[in-house]
């Protein structure tokens, strides 16, 4: 008999569902598209139907912990209400948890998508050897998650870990949250493309501009390739990405003194272009690093893709995520397991 949970990654475009056992092995899985345009009830119908199909394929004698769902938005963890979600219009203040529990007759736990991705990387990914970690997810926006003692740190009302809205430029680019100069405006996939276009406008004769002219599907990937070839305009774009992330990470290092910080999300694929600027910035701003002089250049690349900032006795690690798009699915499945161990 296996003990397992269902993890759901409810994105604005794709809905992914998997059975995950308590050793972290992924079993049955399905992916369908999220028919956001057809309305909330249709999405919930589709999701419940897909969960039932996955459950039907799992053994009857196996024990189900429940269903964990990662949702893009602000969740009230106590009431199970989705308070706000830009990607799921019409879902505000809808009792998602109660409705799915009613339909599927099992425990349902909701988590913010970036928080559950952090939980996934903590359980089975880059931070699996640590109890405490923080993660930044670079996607359309910049999400964040803080894991303390192996569980998501929710804060007073589920808002903890919004590292993406940390100010890195006090009078910088306006952000959707109402602030100016959030790290999201410098390190998200959206921001990378915007900054590449700004760089093109500033130097219309440069290699970046020529690449954009030649390629109607110009993306931040093109800018990344040019940065890796040494193009100064493209390098500047990713230098700003790394600098913004380095400022945020230095603040986290100084305030939380966690053993590991993980960078994930689709746009983290540009790691090689932006990570040198992260470490340059952290050397300047992080007290943990400053506490050790002189820095040991050989200690920088020690384990997998991790970069290590030496501290007295122990080392602060900044690492790339390793689970890719499965992080959210795995972390979501972990939610009901943790809930049961606490009850």
Contact assessment for residue 217 and residue 211, using Cβ atoms and an 8 Å cutoff = no
49 vs 176, which CB is nearer to Zn ion? 176
175 vs 191, which CB is nearer to Zn ion? 175
Buried-exposed string 91-109: b where 16+ CB fall within 10 A, e elsewhere: beebebbebbbebbebbbb
* Geometric angle at alpha carbon 272, from 267 and 278, rounded to 5°: 85
How many other C-beta atoms lie within 10 A of the C-beta of residue 89? 12
> What is the DSSP secondary structure assignment for residue 178, as one 8-state letter?
S
> What is the DSSP secondary structure assignment for residue 157, as one 8-state letter?
S
Q: Least distance to Zn ion from the beta carbon of 162, Å? A: 8
Give CA–CA dist 157/290, Å, rounded: 34
Q: Which contiguous run of DSSP H or E holds residue 287?
A: helix 287-290
Q: Least distance to Zn ion from the beta carbon of 175, Å? A: 3
Give CA–CA dist 258/153, Å, rounded: 13
Q: Least distance to Zn ion from the beta carbon of 10, Å? A: 22
Binding positions for Zn ion, rule: CB under 5 A: 165, 175, 177, 179, 182
125 vs 161, which CB is nearer to Zn ion? 161
State how beta strands 142-148 and 14-21 pair: unpaired
Q: Least distance to Zn ion from the beta carbon of 305, Å? A: 28
183 vs 338, which CB is nearer to Zn ion? 183
What is the C-alpha radius of gyration for the chain, rounded to an integer number of angstroms?
21
55 vs 267, which CB is nearer to Zn ion? 267
191 vs 337, which CB is nearer to Zn ion? 191
Give CA–CA dist 245/207, Å, rounded: 26
177 vs 304, which CB is nearer to Zn ion? 177
Contact assessment for residue 318 and residue 130, using Cβ atoms and an 8 Å cutoff = no
Q: Least distance to Zn ion from the beta carbon of 143, Å? A: 12
Q: Least distance to Zn ion from the beta carbon of 82, Å? A: 20
Q: Least distance to Zn ion from the beta carbon of 86, Å? A: 12
């Amino acid at each position: 008999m296996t003990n397992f949970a269902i993890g759901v990654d409810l994105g604005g475009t794709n809905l992914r569902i998997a059975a995950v056992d308590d050793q972290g092995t992924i079993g049955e899985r399905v992916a369908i598209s999220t028919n956001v345009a057809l309305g909330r009830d249709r999405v919930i119908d589709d999701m419940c139907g897909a969960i039932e199909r996955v459950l039907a394929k799992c053994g009857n004698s196996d024990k189900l912990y429940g269903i964990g769902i990662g949702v893009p938005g602000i969740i009230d963890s106590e009431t199970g209400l989705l308070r706000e979600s830009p990607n799921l219009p019409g879902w505000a203040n809808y009792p998602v948890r109660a409705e799915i529990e009613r339909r599927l007759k099992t425990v349902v736990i909701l988590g913010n998508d970036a928080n559950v991705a952090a939980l996934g990387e903590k359980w089975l990914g880059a931070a699996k050897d640590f109890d405490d970690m923080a993660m930044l997810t670079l996607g359309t926006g910049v999400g964040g998650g803080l894991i303390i003692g192996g569980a998501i740190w929710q804060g007073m009302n589920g808002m903890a870990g919004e590292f993406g809205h940390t100010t890195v430029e006090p009078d910088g680019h306006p952000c959707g949250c109402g602030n100016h100069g959030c790290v999201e405006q410098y390190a998200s996939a959206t921001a990378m493309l915007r900054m590449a276009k700004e760089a093109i406008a500033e130097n219309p004769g440069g290699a970046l501009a020529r690449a954009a002219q030649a390629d109607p599907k110009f993306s931040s990937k093109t800018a990344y390739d040019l940065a890796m070839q040494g193009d100064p305009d493209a390098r500047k774009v990713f230098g700003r990405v790394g600098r913004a992330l380095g400022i945020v990470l230095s603040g986290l290092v100084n305030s939380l003194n966690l053993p590991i910080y993980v960078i994930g999300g689709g746009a983290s694929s540009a790691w090689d272009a932006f990570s040198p600027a992260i470490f340059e910035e952290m050397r300047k701003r992080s007290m943990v690093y400053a506490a050790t002089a002189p820095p040991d250049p050989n200690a920088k690349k020690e384990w997998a893709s991790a970069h290590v900032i030496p501290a007295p006795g122990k080392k602060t690690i900044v690492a790339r995520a390793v689970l890719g798009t499965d992080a959210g699915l795995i972390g979501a499945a972990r939610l009901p397991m943790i809930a049961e161990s606490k009850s």
